[in-house]
Amino acid sequence: MKAQVNWRPSEKGLAFEGIMDDGKTLKLDGNNEDLSPMQAVLISVGACSSVDVVEILRKARQGIETCVCELEAQRAETAPRVFTKLHAHYKVSGSNIKEKHLERAVALSCEKYCSVMLMLTGKVDITTSFEILN
């Protein structure tokens, strides 16, 4: 995997575009006009983990219809302003979703499969919760 990050000169001067070796792009900004790099990391945690949760529930033949991951993070007060705490709350709906299957899916994602979350493990206090919506 390869990527390149290009500065996009602008009036405020902190806009960047990431380009993957397959041509996909992501715009990031230090002035809050696009996602900040830390916002992108937080969203990446939720997306990566949600992929796992959905796939694990599908393999368990759970009738999953929706999966929403709500994330909340706290950052250090001083530089470097790393994440100190992160909480991921999964809201899943579908037909006859069993709590034990959802609990297992969340645990497997966070402890074994979600590469983004696992990169933060040991440096960030990560907690999770979940609920089944009717």
Give the pLDDT of residue 32.
82
- What percentage of the chain's residues is helix, strand, coil (to nearest 5)? 35, 40, 25
Per-residue pLDDT tens digits of the chain, which is 134 residues long:
999 999 998 777 899 999 999 999 999 998 888 999 999 999 999 999 999 999 999 999 999 999 999 999 999 999 999 999 999 999 999 999 999 999 999 999 999 999 999 999 999 999 999 999 98
> In this structure, what CATH number is given to the domain that contains residue 56?
3.30.300.20
Structural domains counted in the chain: 2
Query: Are residue 63 and residue 7 in the same domain, yes or no?
Result: no
Contact 126, 51 (CB under 8 A): no
Geometric angle at alpha carbon 112, from 76 and 56, rounded to 5°: 115
> Is the dihedral angle over the CA atoms 119, 121, 126, 132 positive or is it negative?
positive
Give the pLDDT of residue 36.
95
AA letter at 96: N
Query: Are residue 58 and residue 13 in the same domain, yes or no?
Result: no
Tokens found for residue 58: 């599908």
- Give the other-Cβ count within 10 Å of 75's Cβ: 15
Give the pLDDT of residue 30.
87
Query: Are residue 10 and residue 26 in the same domain, yes or no?
Result: yes
Query: Are residue 12 and residue 67 in the same domain, yes or no?
Result: no
What's the distance, Cα to Cα, between the start and end of the chain in Å?
40
